[in-house]
Amino acid sequence: MQRRVPRPAVLGYAAGSVGTGGFSTLPGLVLAYYLTDTLAVPALLATLVVIVPKVWDVLIDPVVGARSDRQAASRAGRTRLMLLGALTLPLGFVGMFATPEGLGPVAAGLWVLVFFVLATTSFSCFQVPYIALPADLTSDYAERTRVLAWRIATLALAILLVGAGGPAIRDAAGGGHAGYLWMALGIAVLLLAGMLATIVGTRRHLSGTTGTQATTALSGYRAGLVVWREEQAYRTLLTVFVLQALATGVMLAAAQYVATYTLGDQAALTFLFVALVAPALLVMPLWTRYAAGRGKPAALRAASLVFAAATACLAGLVWAPGWWVYLAVGVAGVAYAGMQLFLLAMLPDVISAAGRERGGAMSGLWTAGETTGLALGPVVMLVLLGLTGFRSSTAGEQLTQPEAASTAIVLAFSLLPAALVALSLVALRRYVDPAPVTPAVVTEGSP
């Protein structure tokens, strides 16, 4: 019988989602809007500012994974690299939103770009080994779902605090340059606390890996690609994950524009976020129970279908914007919680089947895929705005937008995410669970 992961390790691992979820969420939510509506950076130029750091992230994630695998054989090896990321990420994050007033659009965009690259590098140092930790914490199929359920619940809380609280701090501070700086300072403290809690809580409970680790960054890249080529379950799961990350990225990037230009209230972003994330705090035990009876792949299919249906309904905002949007977003939030839980709970199963000594290389490609999906979300949003004639502005100024741009904003928030998740379901049909279990009844209990 497998030993249960101790409570400090479960809660410590979950706490890291405050850092990873916060950094993944807030730039995707407000950075494009910050560039176009505070710094007056044209939409197509802002696209480069958003995508270049993400391209860099995709390039270095497998490199970080290779280094993580080299360190994993020693006790708490992965957490040493995580500590470097945790201590440096807040500095780059604050710098992104500390653009000096008076800079022209090009100079302001360059300022954000430099600090975004720095923050992205730090994030990779933490995130890549963090994703590999569940396979090191336990080899039990069901126990991983328990560990990941606490992580996803914490992730939901982090997204709620950061996604709703960040813009609220910005607005309370008067918006503009000062508002974004106060927002960044407050959220940076939260990110740091969450990441340090993971390092402290898990390092005593990690088992070392055995086998041959990658010895160079290039060999780490090759190791991840070899696993991608050899392991169909990993290849399929990564494809599903990237498509769903892209759907999430597009929807997040569109949310602020929907609040401002569709609902007519910039502060509505906070309520949209509460509607999306708050249900996850309530339904996580239900999703865990459902997966115990049906299996993780079937549960992922069910959650994805609900999400696609709920987001498709949001297309009605084109004709009838109103309070009902929060109900549809709430249903999407219930489904989103399940999507996140099952994808992340299935990854350690695939890592164990392929060999834990390759966990860093696999998680490096996984993080690169997530980064690609989430990064392309704002890019798609900005390209749509540029092609439909969106008019950028400075802080305190809100321009009337062309009808084509207004329609594009709603479609990016509704039909486009729905279509991407539907496409991920087609890919999911090829997934074969490497460690299926007999359905069982989940018993409630503390971590």
Q: What is the pLDDT along the chain (447 residues), one digit of tens a residue?
A: 456 778 888 888 889 889 888 898 788 778 888 998 889 888 778 888 888 888 888 788 877 877 777 766 555 467 788 899 999 999 999 999 999 988 889 999 999 999 999 999 999 899 888 887 877 777 776 777 778 788 878 887 887 788 778 888 998 998 889 999 999 999 999 999 999 999 888 877 665 544 444 444 455 556 667 777 777 888 899 999 999 989 988 988 888 888 888 888 877 877 887 888 777 778 888 888 888 888 889 999 999 999 999 999 999 998 988 889 999 999 999 999 899 888 888 888 887 776 666 666 677 777 777 777 877 887 788 888 888 888 766 555 566 678 888 898 999 999 999 999 999 999 999 988 776 544 443 433 444
Cβ atoms 375, 61 nearer than 8 A: no
C-alpha angle 120-163-337 in degrees, rounded to nearest 5:
95
Predicted confidence at residue 441, as pLDDT, reads: 39
- Phi, psi of 394, deg, nearest 5: -95, 170
Domains of the chain: 7-428 (1.20.1250.20)
Give the burial class of 281: count Cβ atoms within 10 A of its Cβ; 0-12 exposed, 13-18 middle, 19 or more buried.
middle
Q: Which residue has the tokens 């741009």?
A: 405
Q: Which residue has the tokens 């977003």?
A: 329
Predicted confidence at residue 206, as pLDDT, reads: 61
Predicted confidence at residue 390, as pLDDT, reads: 80
Cβ atoms 28, 174 nearer than 8 A: no
| 3-state secondary structure string across the chain | CCCCCCHHHHHHHHHHHHHHHHHHHHHHHHHHHHHHHCECCCHHHHHHHHHHHHHHHHHHHHHHHHHHHHHHCCCCHHHHHHHHHHHHHHHHHHHHCCCCCCCCHHHHHHHHHHHHHHHHHHHHHHHHHHHHHHHHHCCCHHHHHHHHHHHHHHHHHHHHHHHHHHHHHHHHCCCHHHHHHHHHHHHHHHHHHHHHHHHHHHCCCCCCCCCCCCCCHHHHHHHHHHHHHHCHHHHHHHHHHHHHHHHHHHHHHHHHHHHHHHCCCCCHHHHHHHHHHHHHHHHHHHHHHHHHHHCHHHHHHHHHHHHHHHHHHHHHHHCCCCCCHHHHHHHHHHHHHHHHHHHHHHHHHHHHHHCHHHHHHHHHHHHHHHHHHHHHHHHHHHHHHHHCCCCCCECCCCCCCCHHHHHHHHHHHCHHHHHHHHHHHHHHCCCCCCCCCCCCCCCCCCC
Kindly write down the DSSP assignment for every residue of 107-159, as one continuous string.
HHHHHHHHHHHHHHHHHHHHHHHHHHHHHHH---HHHHHHHHHHHHHHHHHHH
Predicted confidence at residue 439, as pLDDT, reads: 43
Predicted confidence at residue 214, as pLDDT, reads: 46
Q: Residue 175 corresponds to which tokens in the numbers above?
A: 């918006």
Neighbour tally for 402: CB within 10 Å: 12
Predicted confidence at residue 435, as pLDDT, reads: 61
Q: Taking Cα atoms as reference points, which of 227, 52, 217, 76 lies closest to residue 137? A: 76
Predicted confidence at residue 447, as pLDDT, reads: 47
Predicted confidence at residue 98, as pLDDT, reads: 94
Distance CA 336, CA 305 (A): 10
